[in-house]
Amino acid sequence: TTVYTITYTPETGGEPVENHKWVIHEELEDPGSEPLAAGDEAVIAADHMEGMNGATATIDSAEETTVYMVDFKTADGQEVTNHKWVTESELAAE
């Protein structure tokens, strides 16, 4: 799929979130079938973070890759489940 880094201002207010990784093509509102390019704008239809859903985003970069939803444990022992998204290049063999 196409994954994007995006910059957006949360719908709940606050400072802009810059270069957020990652939102996938399917999580944009009516993006069309072709990948978007840096500088394009799109409405986010995902809620990875508070205030993200419904916000207008500027595409910072686009990449064709495989993505995964993962469960993991942080260095301090906190368990994270269903984290979206990790790209194939961000994974390392254990």
Q: Tell me: the pLDDT tens digits for 50-91?
A: 999 999 999 999 999 999 999 999 999 999 999 999 998 998
What is the average pLDDT value for the chain, to the nearest integer?
A: 94
The model carries a pTM of: 0.88
Burial class (CB in 10 A: 0-12, 13-18, 19+), 3: buried
* pLDDT score at 92: 77
For residue 44, give the nearest of 60, 27, 25, 67 by alpha carbon.
27
